[in-house]
Amino acid sequence: MTSSAAGPPGTVLAAFGVEHDPVLLPGGQGGTWRAGHLVLKPVDFPAETLWRADVLDGLPDSPEFRIARPARTRDGAWAAQGWEASSFVAGEPDVSRQDDVLRAGIAFHAAIADRPRPAFLDRRDDPWSYGDRVAWEELPVEASPAATDLLRQLVHARRPVDLDSQVVHGDLPGNVLFADGLPPAVIDWPAYWRPMSWACAVAVADALCWYDAQPDLIGRWSHLPGWGQMLVRALIYRIVTHDKAFGPTGWTSEQVDAHRPVIELATCG
């Protein structure tokens, strides 16, 4: 991945046809920059970047959500020197609006439901892909003692499910932007091939662990298919991913304590 500490170089800005100086944006793991009407960030996995750009470029406008349209270079490419770009969309994340985040996510997923499974998913290798595969029993559970302790109850509660998969957005809460008078904007799309209700469950698990959501959030979305098992898998995914990314020393007492009540809620049925 291209280093983003100093922002996109002038040759990249020229390739995308922008003349403004780049300004670092909050979030995005410190690697997202705005230059004029474009937002630029390093390419993490080229195959995913190209696939995502093709899908979003062809996605019709919707009254229920906005997207950040990908931008081509002057030569018609979706990336330049390890950087990708998209149009700037107005708005700010608001993780307190959990139901609105889920509604936007569901509308977005309905719009992309007919997309075939991306081949790059078989080759993507990062902590998030690893956590996803463990959650869906495609890899065995191997984790640090702290994570193993958290996972024990979840793995015991995990049951087979028979739900259709589609391409989904695996990280909704901080990637839905709100602006007055406009539909929510869905940005920074990490793609997975899972049931739509799993993507919603990840958002709910995040909201309960980190964003002060109340337990009744689970009940408001319990009509989604396989809901209890989706919550179990969502929590396994997040715990294993964190463990893979940061290792045994990456668990603070606050992080462990944030998961415990949510695990109880997800497994009590």
Burial of 115 (0-12, 13-18, 19+ CB in 10 A): middle
Each domain of the chain, given as residue ranges in start order, spans 10-89, 98-267
Q: Nearest Cα to 54, choosing from 70, 76, 74?
A: 70
Q: What percent of the chain has pLDDT over 90?
A: 95
Q: In this structure, how many other beta carbons lie within 10 angstroms of the beta carbon of residue 90? A: 12
Architecture of domain 98-267: Alpha-Beta Complex (3.90)
Residue whose structure tokens are 């209890």: 228
- Check whether 4 has a pLDDT greater than 70: no
**Range 105-133 average pLDDT:** 97
Residue among 192, 188, 63, 75 nearest 126 (CA): 192
According to CATH, the topology of domain 10-89 is: Phosphorylase Kinase; domain 1 (3.30.200)
What pTM was computed for the model? Answer: 0.95
Contact (Cβ atoms closer than 8 angstroms) between residue 43 and residue 82: yes
Closest CA to 135 of 256, 269, 229: 229
Task: Indicate if the pLDDT at residue 5 is higher than 70.
Answer: no
pLDDT of residue 93: 96
Closest CA to 79 of 89, 70, 91: 70
In a 10 Å sphere around its CB, with 0-12 CB exposed, 13-18 middle and 19+ buried, how is residue 212 labelled? exposed
